[in-house]
Amino acid sequence: MKHIAEELLQAGVGKVWVDEPLAHHTTWRIGGPADLLIQPIDKEKLILAVQTIHRHKIPWSVIGRGSNLLVRDGGIRGAVFKVAEGLSHCQFEGEEVCVGAGYSMIRLTVEAGKMGLTGMEFAGGIPGSVGGAVYMNAGAHGSDLSRILKEAEILFEDGEIATMNAEELEFSYRTSLLQKRKGIVLEATFRLERGDRKQIASVLAANKDRRRRTQPLQMPCAGSVFRNPPGDHAGRLIEACGLKGHCIGGAQISEMHANFIVNRGGATATDVLTLIEFARNTVRERFGVDLHPEVLVMGEG
């Protein structure tokens, strides 16, 4: 991989690491090494890097800011593209905003509020990037991205670049076409509405205060671990089983919110996966409900 890393560096694609521990790039602070980690400086260099990796017949995958992600302890073979600061443009025009895939969802929500645009308040606590949010149709507080996305520009594995609307992206609860067809979000355009700045700020502040009181944001975690089953909440079911605070290795079901697993220090991906299965089995035995993780698991054990 070193010669390919050198080729990418000479082409000026951006930052390139060999055998880089992905624990340094995930909010859980967990994950083995990527053979090759590439953080392009802009969209054009990302496309060039994908073409280079494709030419060398190297398998690849993509991460954003590392939330909602568990990388197994063996790491990831091949190349990993980190879509971050390099794709972080943001342009408002009327009631629409075009934003790069690496832009922070929290920052975007705040900026929209300052512009007096409403519709993104639900996303004020989503810690990841725009690209990752589109990939999983991220949502909270009864809403999700499918309701405000006008279109997204996608680079597919075969090199095709397509601009797709919400219907074409086949959004459903925490899923999209991109979980079936491999691609990288380059940018997204959201359609918002005019609103009252003070009211928007009030909603964002209330949601932020609620998260601070109920979620373990001061500890390494990945956000909610399980999707909510129809008509219920995963956290309520796990808590009802008496599992708050339950530990396996360095991983713990949060004492603040049972749908969060935190890294108490030194947790491995195996610890987290074992704890996930323990919680699933316990809830299934107690309530007959099968919880489905919404965390993306990548890599080798």
Q: How far apart are the first and last CA of the chain?
A: 21
**Residues with catalytic function:** 174, 224, 294
What are the contacts of 158-162 at 24+ separation with CB within 8 A?
159/50, 159/51, 159/54, 161/47, 161/186
Q: Which 3 state secondary structure label does DSSP give 29?
A: coil
What is the residue whose two structure tokens read 């060999």? 18
Whole-angstrom distance, CA of residue 100 vs CA of residue 277: 35
Return all residues near 270 (Cβ < 8 A) that are at least 6 apart.
72, 73, 249, 301
CB 33 within 8 A of CB 269: no
8's tokens: 């990418």
